[in-house]
Amino acid sequence: MAYNLTITGAELQALLNFTETKVETTLFSGDTTGDITLSESAANFSELVVYYEGYQTNCPQTMTIYAPNGKRINLAVVEDSAGGGTRVRRTAYDISGTSMAVVTGGSIAAGFTLLNGTAVSQTLTGNVIHVTKVVGRG
């Protein structure tokens, strides 16, 4: 069965531009709670997609960051905890060029807060979120 398709140059260019924004490049793949080195600069992409999770692959999630270079992102995971509690893991990253650096010091503290009944406790000894993949788009 033959099809005839009539398309203008502008329509074709719009389709190519859209397709280009959806092409993905894996910039990091692994499992880390530390700083991340990207294989290309974040400045080369219109979006970054960060894949991350909590303890022992719990609660896998993604975050899409538009115009990522020079931005700070905050990642959080909410998990069940032993004894019926809730654990909120959190950390922040600064994205610059080929680096995603865990933010330390100042008023930002990576770690987790545990809510168990009426008790609330915090452990702020370091990043407890696992980044498993970073993908660039566009």
pLDDT tens figures, 28-46: 999 999 999 999 999 999 9
Which residues fall within 8 angstroms of residue 85, CB to CB, at 6 or more apart? Answer: 114, 115, 116, 117
Q: Are residues 33 and 128 in contact, defined by beta-carbon separation less than 8 angstroms?
A: yes
- Confidence label for 55 from pLDDT (cuts 50, 70 and 90): confident
Which residues fall within 8 angstroms of residue 19, CB to CB, at 6 or more apart? Answer: none
Which candidate, 77, 78, 65, 74, places its Cα nearest to that of 38? 65
Half-sphere exposure of 78 (CA within 13 A, CB side): 3
pLDDT digits (tens, 9 = 90+) for 62-113: 999 999 999 999 999 999 887 788 989 999 999 999 999 999 877 777 888 8
Neighbours of 28 (CB within 10 A): 20
Which residues fall within 8 angstroms of residue 44, CB to CB, at 6 or more apart? Answer: 136
Question: 1, exposed or middle or buried, with CB in 10 Å at 0-12, 13-18, 19+?
Answer: exposed
Q: Are residues 89 and 54 in contact, defined by beta-carbon separation less than 8 angstroms?
A: yes
- Confidence label for 22 from pLDDT (cuts 50, 70 and 90): low
At residue 36, the pLDDT reads 97
- Confidence label for 52 from pLDDT (cuts 50, 70 and 90): very high
Q: What is the pTM of this model?
A: 0.81
